[in-house]
Structure 1
Amino acid sequence: MSEAPLEAPVEEAAVVASSVAATATTEEVVAANPLRDPRDKRLPRVAGPCVLVLFGVTGDLAKRKLLPAIYDLGNRGLLPPGFSLVGFARRDWQHQDFRQLTHDAVKEHARTPFREEVWKQLSEGIHFVPGEFTDDGAFDALAMALKEIDQTRGTGGNYAFYLSVPPKFFPVVVQQLKRTGLADAPDGSWRRVVIEKPFGHDLKSAHELNETTNEAFPESSIFRIDHYLGKETVQNIMALRFANNLYEPIWNRSYVDHVQITMAEDIGLAGRAGYYDGIGAARDVIQNHLLQLLALVAMEDPTSFDANSLRREKEKVLKAVRLPADLATGTARGKYAAGWQGGEKVVGYLEEEGIPADSTTETYAALKLEIANRRWAGVPFYLRTGKRLGRRVTEVAVVFQRAPHLPFSKDDTEILGQNALVVRVQPDEGITVRFGSKVPGTAMEVRDVSMDFAYGESFMESSPEAYERLLLDVMIGDPPLFPHQREVELSWKILDPVEEFWATQGQPEDYPSGTWGPPSADAMMARDGRTWRRL
């Protein structure tokens, strides 16, 4: 996400994290806090005493996102003085080694200014426990360390376990937490587990993972992280729809022609060959990110924004999703070939280090879906994602039907397209409305123009990074932005038939790096008389 410059009030929020918090006025704290509770504008949402146990601290996600997000929360005054962070990894480290790794990650990737007083307070609560996930002794040592932290830091037995590890280790870690009793919360405290996507690789494995996790934790204590749901622009879809009477009356089949949801990346594997091969674009992005976006765009208005109400409406939509009758013409897949990206020559997917020469994993996937309900019957939803595409962009485009009667000559509207409302999720967060306007002059010539809303220009406070919002929600115990198991299973029910069909089709179609995907994706749209948006 783009990083808007931090305003002076955010710098003041760092003081709140120290002992002088009591001297700050409530107004100063709220002004400095982009994560304030929307239900109470007077007070910020501040985590209570707790320990965050991070499994997989040496991974890229931890270093680039999680550790900096923890520091940023502290710098914004949203962590209690006794907050503690425990790293667990297969390293022969002491506490100071993990503190140094955290320090380096914060200095390089944090979004708020580095402040010695905030770092000093945070670092005092940083601990490390070495061990393998299969090592009973290491988890026994972890349990002892957490008890000591409770006594010295006043964390009250409140633990959040973040599994930033390969999916194959999810059940192993959860079973260890159950064996040691760390999953069991004494009266007056809480225990929560955070699981990164993917939530399984198909419906069967997702169900098995859920059963294993539920043996240790109740559903209310399981937080499935889809970081897209923590992005401000994704949450703004609900505000746009339900707070503005301008749009909601036309948000239906009577006015909408189709919807395009795109997540395009301009990078290749970025060192993720071991994870990516065998998973592919559809499992990696469509099953979670894009289907969640579809659900937010298409759902009915919830009775409130509490977790149960949101989930209920999203589940209704996912249950109503229908695949095309002919998967050969209603889907497309491809893999990037050698080409040019950003002025540099890049190799194709099969030439990437660690990828088998006979791999059939797709790096591009596109689907045409429909929703069998009264609001959306007959309106196609086109989802696409891919690597090594023209540029990095994620957006939701609601494309409206043409006016039923145009009292213009053909030449007047020759270059007039369809009205569209586009939510830009990244990198330039905002909303664009495209409509027709008369070109200045004596002739009646109409062409497309756009009105833009940009977050960075409209708000004085910076948007929190998605992981900041989600980590804080975990520690507070606020679950609306986390997918429920039922949503996960419904998403796999949509994708599994597509994956099974593709498994019979041999190699994905090639597309040159730096382009916008394989010809079959354009053909899929052309059959419906439509084209993909130019990004």
Structure 2
Amino acid sequence: MSPTRVSASENPLRDDRDRRLPRIAGPSGLVMFGVTGDLARKKLMPAIYDLFNRGLLPPGFSLVGYGRRDWSDADFAEQVRSSVSRYARTPFRAEVWEQLAEGLRFVQGNFDDDAAFDRLAEVLAELDTTRGIGGNYGFYLSIPPGAFPVVTKQLARSGLSRQDGDSWRRVVIEKPFGHDLESARELNEVVESVFPPDSVFRIDHYLGKETVQNLLALRFANQLWEPIWNAHYVDHVQITMAEDIGIGGRAGYYDGIGAARDVIQNHLLQLLALTAMEEPISFDAKDLRAEKEKVLSAVRVPIDLDSAAARGQYSKGYQGNEAVNGFLEEDGIAPDSITETFAALRLDIDTRRWAGVPFYLRAGKRLGRRVTEIAVVFKRAPFLPFDNTATGELGQNAIVIRVQPDEGVTIRFGSKVPGTAMEVRDVSMDMSYGESFTESSPEAYERLILDVLLGDPPLFPRHEEVELSWKILDPFTKHWESAGKQPEAYYPGQWGPASAHDMLSRDGRSWRVP
């Protein structure tokens, strides 16, 4: 007899938000390609367990792994359990696990194996009967982009992409989606020849983060900010994604890709679009996408790419007290590689709201600390009725949205220093998610996987956004590749190469130190 599962309404792990706005998936299952990879092991499988544990997946939910390993269903279940035990956000509960494990299956095969995909079709048909899935499946492609076309074509050949009656079939694709505009267009044509556009979910996990979604609340739920969120008051915007680690074991993926293609094309340009877009009519997918596409269409790439961009490679040195290899000494990296581990760009947006306001984007590895933030830096007050000595330590006002790891919002402004003299100094007002809310924030992949199963697409970029992003980045990457120069070296723990700081100093500005 199957163990009794705690109902959604009784589950103590469901937070108040879930009770107020129940977003519970109907009968469905997920087929996961790339189940042995780090993403599946550390993020996807734990997220599925957490959703199940919170009562947000149906009792008959099924997860099918597809891969080359010689695994039985029991072997796959053990791998999932190991991943869940180590990485899940919610507590491990035996009775919940046992019910989830009943729906775990594994199919062995290569991506071009017709017989294996036919077996996959048989397994899904069996689950339709035994688990009440109703023919509703998502296909999660946690695999290298080069394998997308062969897998989608196999899904078409085997009939797995075909939707019958009221059932649905959806495909989930991880970034990077192509390596330039041309390849992105080719890939879009392949995928959308098999699945209709509304059934293609391109994952950008940054869009599932609570703080990224809070940017929309910060801007459009408050009268306080919108009147000053424009070129009359904003001096510039800085968007930073910094990591304090190297490439680790990702040499096979990272070499030839680099920081710009890896995170600027997707994560940072999405953050730029959300920061700069106009208020949407609603938060429905089509309205939200329309405003983001307008912003990306209005981005202007500077003519002088040398002065509007910087590239770097981390060298050998110390990260804190630990001696670390340089990029060229990492395992699997060619000693003459010109792949950048740091990239910074200046972009302008030709709209009435943002004319004359530069947006500075930077991303890199082996930097000072791990942080992702959006800093909206305001112009100085046009007149200060103070002596110069009174405001000597006064900087520019700023609103800083901290995406990770210390999620929250900081407002920097000037305040009088206590004492008999008039002295003004910068202070910070801080809102921390951990201190302001008792609810724990779900992992981004929990939100995104649930959205896939619900068919709720606002957080997923369509191919128009992907292609517009490549259109912005391509001039920079092609310029760097045609020059063939080695990226400028920078030491671990620093904030990128000297050229990145020169890029802002030429504009009379400087990077924030997060």
Q: Does the 8 A contact of 1:18 with 1:81 survive in 2?
A: no
Q: Corresponding residue for 1:528? A: 507
Q: Residue in 1 aligned with 2:107? A: 129
Alignment match, 2:135: 157
**TM-score, L = length of structure 2:** 0.98
Matches within 5 A, 1:122-521: 122-505=100-483, 506-521=485-500
SS for the counterpart of 1:201 is coil
Number of residues paired by the alignment?
511
Change (3 A) 1:35 1:336: farther
* Cα contact 1:259–1:399 (8 A) shared by 2: yes
Change (3 A) 1:345 1:385: same
Distance 1:236 1:34 in 2: 18
* Aligned partners of 1:161 and 1:194 also within 8 Å: yes
SS at match of 2:266: helix
Distance 2:5 2:52 in 1: 12
Equivalent residue letter for 1:527: R
Aligned to 2:26: 48
- After superposition, the Cα gap between the structure-2 partners of 1:128 and 1:371, relative to the gap in structure 1 and judged at 3 Å, is same
Q: 2 CA distance for matches of 1:22 and 1:167?
A: 37
Aligned-residue offset at 1:201? 0.2
SS in 1 for 2:269: helix
State the shift of 1:19 in Å. 3.6
Q: CA deviation at 1:525?
A: 0.3
Deviation at 1:18, TM superposition (A): 5.1
1:12 is aligned to: none
| Deviations 1:379-412, CA, capped at 9 Å, x for gaps | 0000000000011000000000000000011100
Q: CA deviation at 1:33?
A: 3.1
Between the aligned residues of both structures, percent identity stands at: 69
Residue by residue over 1:396-447, the C-alpha shift from the partner in whole angstroms, topping out at 9 and shown as x without a partner, is: 0000000000001110000100000000000000000000000000100000
1:512 maps to a residue whose letter is Y
Q: Partner letter of residue 108 of structure 1? A: R
> Following the alignment from structure 2 to structure 1, what is the Cα–Cα distance between the partners of residues 380 and 47?
45
**Of 75, 88, 99, which aligns to 2:77?**
99
Pair 1:427–1:468, CA change in 2 (3 A): same
Deviations 1:339-375 (A, max 9, x none): 1113100010010000011111000000000000100
- Asked if structure 1 preserves the Cα contact closer than 8 Å seen for 2:4 and 2:95, the reply is yes
Aligned to 1:21: 7
Amino acid at match of 1:42: R
* TM-aligned CA deviation for residue 514 of structure 1: 1.2
Which segments of 5 or more consecutive residues in structure 1 lack a partner in the other structure? Answer: 1-16
**Segment drifting more, 322-331 vs 154-163:** 322-331
Letter in 2 for 1:528: D
Letter in 1 for 2:97: W
For 2:64, give the aligned amino acid: V
Whichever residue aligns with residue 263 of structure 1, its letter is M
Looking at structure 2, the residues matched to 157 and 305 of structure 1 have their Cα atoms a distance apart, in angstroms, of: 29
**Alignment partners' CA distance in 1, 2:244 and 2:411:** 25
Question: How far apart are the structure 2 equivalents of 1:295 and 1:23?
Answer: 37
Q: CA deviation at 1:471?
A: 0.2
Deviations 1:139-188 (A, max 9, x none): 00000110001000000000100000111111110000000010011001
For 1:210, the aligned partner's letter is N
2:15 maps to 33
Give the whole-Å Cα distance in 2 for the aligned partners of 1:34 and 1:224. 29
C-alpha distance in 2 between matches for 1:395 and 1:468: 22
* Alignment of 1:72 onto 2:58: no
Secondary structure of 2:193's partner? helix
Cα offsets for 1:73-120 (capped at 9, x unmatched): 011110110000000000111000000000000000000000001100
* Shift in Å, 1:270: 1.8
* Inter-partner Cα distance in structure 2 for 1:205 and 1:105: 34
Per mean C-alpha deviation after superposition, the further-off stretch among 310-319 and 336-345 is: 336-345
The one-letter code of the counterpart of 1:508 is P
Contact map agreement 2:376 2:398 (CA 8 A) in 1? yes
1:364–1:384: 8 Å Cα contact kept in structure 2?
A: yes
> For residues 531 and 163 of structure 1, what CA distance do their matches in structure 2 show?
40
Asked if structure 2 preserves the Cα contact closer than 8 Å seen for 1:35 and 1:464, the reply is: no
How big is the shift at 1:323?
1.2
